[in-house]
Structure 1
């Protein structure tokens, strides 16, 4: 709902594709600044408490976003600050989320648990746009964002059901420990060529993906002229492919080498993206987005499982943070670049073409890297 409401509010108040795409990109900038801090927190503090506190803070910052958007004329400095603060929570708590899985799940079930998490997430990808688009249409974008506030409060409540941490490092985080842990995590991530190759692959992939994704609402509603409901139907159709990939990925991971799956799925997602150039029917776009998300979801589940199986538990939080920081660093750049192209009169045709070719090339490069040789 947030991903739908935010660009709709900005487009309606300003008509600017640049600000809509930039706002999307700004939400990923904190991954560059706070990922390492989140990794150290995950490896030294209670992951359960970190997740609960993070969601409560997200509820507070969501209210700040609402306040920044409620004026007749948007103060962009205030808006970008609010979005930045809300987005800062995710990199601080995501390493705890990823690294808590080996703590509560047996090793043989890593792939199954990652697939289940992605399946639930993808179910929301299908239902979210339909429900969110309806709510945005009925109560307008600003009021819809109150549901975002409520969702964080509910999430914090649910997280109390998690079992208490069994392997919490009792050391307090000092500046010395912080520096040592970050350096240790960086050295490990750089020397593990498979992990590093995967991060670089996702760097290019995320740049390409967000050239299009950050400008999706603009493309559908402004360039193609579809009503919001058609755009949300198309987005929901895209989620079906991701939903199907969840249970399938568990079987694929058991039968094929991780490197082969990662390189092939990345290449296939890039080639699938180019299919968007053939037809502009909103139903066709939804089907193609479903194909892209199918390969993308298999890609993510495979990499998460590979990382959890190969990285020592005591380093996992920092490695998750470092690899996510590197792979997410390209998202704001890709979002901004796509918005600049559109703002300068370049059609979405070229944005899609560049994005598809880049993603396919990332798959080819991954196949000949140490990642592609990973069993």
Structure 2
């Protein structure tokens, strides 16, 4: 699973860098680039519950393999829409939506398979190991991906991303098969009932649900800036793709540091305190982005933001895995992710609208930092803040 996640994440970085650059090159529009970014998170609202129900009722291994094969097909469709001289945005939006729909269908299986292959005292270490892959690539991904995009072009980079899905599927075949058979629900009514049960359980668990609400606001704030980062660096500050990816790589250094010490910190502090404190510190660090336009300084500030953000994620994932029964964990993962991701397309779109109407990036960053800080303060006053 670790190796499959590594390869898949490498492909994701190519996609993350290549797609906005292709759109900016063909349209020069921050609005379209931000809209496509936000659109990729909308499927989480529609398909998360279904993904959670699938994870709790079917083989997680088969879901992960099938999902990566489907993603390879959807990625190929996206590439063909971008090969046209003039982008047909209806086809582009449809292709992005289809490709993005795979993730909410398989992510609950990815998260809930960890308790099947590790013991409870290994949860924090397992989450840190997964985050270490993600955050190592936060350093190497922009540099490697930016170089490939710069030298091979955006379309070639997307083809490599497509191949990464197939490579991941072939590696996941080596995952162990669950020895205890699942009691699967094959009828539509049974699936709907399973989704309703998962949603009710998630809403009743005030600590877990408070955490998802905290992420709802932090994701809104984060993506006001993140969705427009490529536009800001390449169009507003006139940096090259290489300089831009250097800043992103420096930011990934903070995330990597958090993944290396995350399990130790999570096991020595109260989860509620750690979640609220790291959110507040991430918000305050975001405000520092207003103070500099130098790409190195921007990267160092992003490192601080990503350190606290990654610590936040490790803490919440571990808390969720420790407190939620395995037979319903997939659905709880789906519901909480659906809630927390619901604000991403709105935040991305809102940031793009502000820029399109003449607001400065400094204003967007200032607003994002304030919202994230307030989200942490609110979490401290919620049931999450009282969690031990």
Q: 2:172 aligns with which of 151, 159, 177?
A: 159
Q: Output the CA distance in 1 between the equivalents of 2:139 and 2:286.
A: 19
Q: Output the CA distance in 1 between the equivalents of 2:287 and 2:78.
A: 35
Q: Output the CA distance in 2 between the equivalents of 1:88 and 1:151.
A: 17
Q: Return structure 1 stretches of 4+ with deviation > 6 angstroms.
A: none
* CA deviation map 1:89-126 (0-9, x unaligned): 00000000000000000000000000000001111111
Secondary structure class of the residue paired with 1:166: coil
Q: 2:325 aligns with which of 301, 312, 323?
A: 312
Report the counterpart of residue 191 of structure 1 in structure 2: 204
Report the counterpart of residue 91 of structure 1 in structure 2: 104
Secondary structure class of the residue paired with 2:186: coil
Q: Output the CA distance in 1 between the equivalents of 2:156 and 2:199.
A: 42
Q: Output the CA distance in 1 between the equivalents of 2:165 and 2:116.
A: 23
Report the counterpart of residue 11 of structure 2 in structure 1: none
Kept in 2, the 8 Å contact 1:103–1:166? The answer is: no
Q: Output the CA distance in 2 between the equivalents of 1:122 and 1:174.
A: 40
Report the counterpart of residue 370 of structure 1 in structure 2: 383
Q: 2:31 aligns with which of 7, 15, 18?
A: 18
Cα 1:305–1:264 shift into 2, 3 Å: same
* CA deviation map 1:345-369 (0-9, x unaligned): 1110010000000000000000010
1:103 aligns with 2:131: no
Q: Output the CA distance in 2 between the equivalents of 1:88 and 1:165.
A: 26
1:299 aligns with 2:317: no
Question: Where in structure 1 are there 5+ consecutive unaligned residues?
Answer: none
Q: Output the CA distance in 1 between the equivalents of 2:242 and 2:25.
A: 16
TM-score normalized with structure 1 length: 0.99
- Pick which of 135-144 and 25-34 moved more: 135-144
Report the counterpart of residue 132 of structure 1 in structure 2: 145
The alpha-carbon deviation at position 168 of structure 1 amounts to 4.1
TM-score normalized with structure 2 length: 0.96
1:276 aligns with 2:289: yes
Q: Output the CA distance in 1 between the equivalents of 2:273 and 2:183.
A: 40
Q: 2:264 aligns with which of 236, 245, 251?
A: 251
Cα 1:168–1:32 shift into 2, 3 Å: farther
Q: Output the CA distance in 2 between the equivalents of 1:35 and 1:334.
A: 19
Kept in 1, the 8 Å contact 2:81–2:87? The answer is: yes
Q: Output the CA distance in 2 between the equivalents of 1:305 and 1:173.
A: 31
Report the counterpart of residue 28 of structure 1 in structure 2: 41
The alpha-carbon deviation at position 167 of structure 1 amounts to 3.9
Kept in 1, the 8 Å contact 2:210–2:383? The answer is: yes
* CA deviation map 1:75-94 (0-9, x unaligned): 00000000000000000000
The alpha-carbon deviation at position 171 of structure 1 amounts to 2.2
Question: Where in structure 2 are there 5+ consecutive unaligned residues?
Answer: 1-13
1:66 aligns with 2:66: no
Report the counterpart of residue 266 of structure 1 in structure 2: 279
Report the counterpart of residue 236 of structure 1 in structure 2: 249
* CA deviation map 1:281-300 (0-9, x unaligned): 00000001111000000000
